[in-house]
Amino acid sequence: MGKTDGATIIKKYANRRLYNTGTSTYVTLDDLATMVKEDEDFTVQDAKSGEDITHSVLTQIIFEQEAKSGQTMLPVSVLRQLISFYGDQMQMVVPSYLEHSMAAFAQEQERIREQMTSMIGKSPIDVVASGQQMFGEQAQRNMAIFQEAMKMFNPFAAMADTQPKNGAPAAAPAESEAGDQNDLQSMRDQIAEMQRRLDKLG
């Protein structure tokens, strides 16, 4: 079978070769990059175990593209920020934020292309001004998504409500344990609600 749920199956062998089961041919990472650009859905599986390794292969494609001269899209500052989020409590928010931000940017691509085309023949000053306005508006939309996520993700608020106030005695161990469970559930509810709002913003 060359496809599963409409997605082409790409098998990766121990020798790192990639096999497109849809076309019955061996392909390269550049071929997969082209498939992505052409919006062709595919899943990469380990040929031996059947494990889905699409994420690692796509990451490898980005690494290959970034290594090519003149094609770097990820500034050092962005890479540092991404690395700093690993292991941080905000790590669970970043994927949804990036996904919705990129989806919003993709929806704006045609308008951006039209604006870039309209800049042809204009003076350098006009081009810079138009470009700054265009990307400034996109940045504002991205920030709105991020701020909405931050409002929803506040695990310390629920914990603060359970702390003793005005010299009140601390809760008994059983009550404290029950409070911890409530805090955990509250955090889960907040994250679920945040995801719903992000979906609406997307």
Query: What is the pLDDT at residue 174?
Result: 56
Tell me what pLDDT residue 161 has. Answer: 46
Of residues 154 and 7, which shows the higher confidence score?
7
Residue 3 has pLDDT above 50, yes or no: yes
Q: Give residue 117's pLDDT.
A: 74
Sort 61 into a burial class: Cβ within 10 Å, 0-12 / 13-18 / 19+.
middle
Residue 157's pLDDT is 43
What proportion of the chain, given as a percentage, has pLDDT over 90? 28
Model confidence pLDDT, tens digit, residues 76-122: 998 998 899 898 877 888 888 888 878 877 777 777 777 777 766 65
8 A C-beta contact, residue 29 and residue 64: yes
| Predicted pLDDT of residue 36 | 94
Task: Over range 26-42, report the average pLDDT.
Answer: 95
Q: Look at 150 and 139; give whichever has higher pLDDT.
A: 139
Domain extents in the chain = 1-73, 155-201
